[in-house]
Amino acid sequence: MKLDLILRVTTKVIIPFILLFALYVHFHGDFGPGGGFQAGVIAAGMLILYAIIFGVEAAQRVVPRAVVHVMVPLGVLIYAMTGLAAFYFGENFLNYAPLAHDPKHGHHLGVILVESGVITTVAGTMVSIFYAFLERGR
């Protein structure tokens, strides 16, 4: 429909930048404000914007429901596995120091891995709640 032309074009222009910004917030969370939770919400917002403008079928072609439903427990699993990896090295749960040769790098790596778990769960949960509302509303 012609009426939505402006919204469609703008959305197409802006969506890559939203995703890029979400990744920036995730990986820059060690240095500035932000982290996994915020990045997950922003990434979910990207998909929600796409679904609002282009319809939910188009969004589900990009990210099917099954993928989102897998993401929800996968994040918790990544988090728990990062914690359990310390057991392998004979340390306490969630002690990241032995993950790399230098304990400092180990801590950094552990934080990034843990935040990856958070971003996966949060983005998956937000998007699947959104999908659930839409499908119930049909």
Partner 1 sequence: MFVVATIAVALALALAVTRAILGPTVFDRVLAGNVVGTLAILLLAVIGFLSGRPEWLDIGLTYGLLNLIGTLAVLKYFRHGDLAHDAEKDGSRE
Partner 2 sequence: MNGLIDPEILDIVVTGLSWFAISAGSFFVLVGTIGLIRMPDVFTRMHAASLVDTLGAGLLIAGMMLQAGFTATSLKLLFIFLLLFITSPVATHAVAQATLEAGDLPELKVDRRDRARTAGDAVETPEA
Partner 3 sequence: MELYVNLLLLTLMAATVIAIIQQSSLFSVVILSGIYSFLMASVLIVLDAVDVAMTEASVGAGISTVVLLGALHLTRTTALKSHQRVFLGLFVSVAVGTMLMWGVLGLPEFGVADAPVHTHVAPTYLLESIPETGIPNVVTTVLADYRGFDTFGETTVVFTAGIGVLLLLGGRRRRGRGAGAKDAPK
Contact set with partner 2 (CB under 8 A) = 3, 6-7, 10, 13-14
Residue placing its CB nearer to partner 2 in the complex, 14 or 84: 14
Q: Tokens 């982290």 identify what position?
A: 35
Position 118 contacts partner 3 (CB under 8 A) = yes
Count of beta carbons in the 10 Å neighbourhood of residue 108:
15
CA distance linking residue 43 with residue 32, whole number of Å: 18
Among 5, 6, 13, 32, binds partner 3 (CB under 8 A): 32
Distance (Å) of CA 96 to CA 24, 28, 29, 90, 103? 23, 19, 17, 11, 8
Residue placing its CB nearer to partner 2 in the complex, 2 or 136: 2
What does residue 116 show for φ and ψ, rounded to 5 degrees? Answer: -65, -40
| Residues forming the site for partner 3 (CB under 8 A) | 25, 29-38, 41-42, 44-45, 48, 52, 65, 69, 72-73, 75-76, 79-80, 83, 93-94, 96, 103-105, 107-108, 110-111, 114-115, 117-118, 121-122, 124-126, 128-130, 132-137
